[in-house]
A and B are shown apart, each in its own frame.
Chain A
Amino acid sequence: MAIFEHMGVFAVTPGTAVMWLISLTLIYLAISKKYEPLLLLPIGFGILIANLPLTELMVPGEGLIWRFYHYGIEWEVIPPLIFLGLGALTDFGPLLSQPRLIFLGAAAQAGVYVTFFAATSFGFTLEEAATIGIIGGADGPTTIFLAAKLAPHLLGACAVAAYSYMALVPIIQPPIMRLLTTENERRIRMKKGRKIGAREKLFFPIAATVVIILLVPASAPLIAMFMLGNLFRESKVVDRLTDAAQNSLMNIVTIFLGISVGATMTAENFLRNDVLFIFFLGLVAFIIGTATGVILAKLMNLFTSNKINPLIGGAGVSAVPMAARVVQRMGVEADKKNNLLMFAMGPNIAGVIGTVIAAGIFLTLLK
């Protein structure tokens, strides 16, 4: 009767059954609510197959999904490739035309650090706390990149938290931004910055690479690939590479990223007492980041006559471009001709870079 011992059916535990429910919930949210479907769908399916007993899919050295995980994520291949695509999609114009908006992207990283200290005081190790804090950057690939190096056992939970909050940006952010601003502030129409020429846009990725990597070498894998993608885009001579980085390559690695991240979420990794707490702390990080961005914009307004609409501070958390869309929507709510979208892209992109730098700093200090 050996065949029965090898049947998964008899090895199902209550924990794996709970994970199936979580998996089906994510698949449902991805398909019917369109919450980050490109990621949550493969993640959801990855969770399901990782929790079918006796498959050996995640057995080191043997399993199929383990290979995806090991060579894709542990070897740090996939998150930098995603950053290549993001770089190719990014227009630095809005940031370059108003460089002061960089500060808003930096301020929003406060959520990352505050949560880091909060998590350590609640008993998480420094490595775990850094991984939890980075959720506040609302940047999936950066969270995965850092988690794989510092706290692989939390990778699944932190990645799902980051992607969930990105999907929930339109629900989480507006109440905070409304609370911290007055109707008149939301009506502020911003003055256009100067026009940015093609040459400036071409030099920027090169200069930024050198400066950022000299300052925070540990951020090199992500920054280098991001800026390379951007250089492809702005050079205007390698449209095929730009297109491949933005579309086909990005889509391919997204498949492997999603299924591998999902497969790390086995019952014993995920059904721990502290997972709910991680989701809670991640949310706090995200809320603080939103709030500090808005508050800094208001502070900057005390010292300048060229007023900033404080809503755009909320876009300092990365979540590109969802956070910028939220700003646009709230601006138009206050004044239908107030288009803040492109202004919000400034802090939004600065936020991505800021989160990568924050991750680099954690790596430098903790590794």
Chain B
Amino acid sequence: MAQEVLAALSGNIWKVSVEVGDKVEEDDEVFVVEALKMEIPVYAPCDGTISEIKVKKGDAVEEDDVLAVID
């Protein structure tokens, strides 16, 4: 079942820690969002494989934007 990785808060994508096809476990770091000069990790909501990444480094994101999809 596909599950979306949502931005925990608004900011800029500081780091994309995974690539499409990577296997991740729940609570693995998938992205790092930068907001107010703080680096805030976004964690995988479940186990699975990254099937799609929708943002790249430097993109501005809003809270709850879909950053990636895990299958």
Contacts and interface: CB of A to CB of B under 8 A. Distances in A.
Contacts of A328: 38, 40
A337 B43 contact: yes
Interface string B9-43: 11000000000000000010000000111101101
Contacts of A324: 36
A64 interface: no
Contacts, number: 29
Contact of B9 (A321, A336, A342): A342
A342 B38 contact: no
B8 interface: yes
Chain B interface residue bracket vs A: 10 to 19
A336 B43 contact: yes
Contact of B36 (A332, A336, A341): A341
A342 to B, nearest CB: 5
Contacts of B35: 341-342
A321 B9 CA distance: 16
Given A324-B36, A328-B38, A341 B43 contact: no
B40 A341 contact: yes
A336 B29 CA distance: 11
A321 B10 CA distance: 15
A342 B40 CA distance: 12
A229 to B, nearest CB: 18
A345 B36 CA distance: 10
B38 A192 contact: no
Q: Which 4 pairs, one residue from A and one from B, show the smallest C-beta to C-beta distance?
A: A321-B36, A339-B8, A342-B9, A339-B9
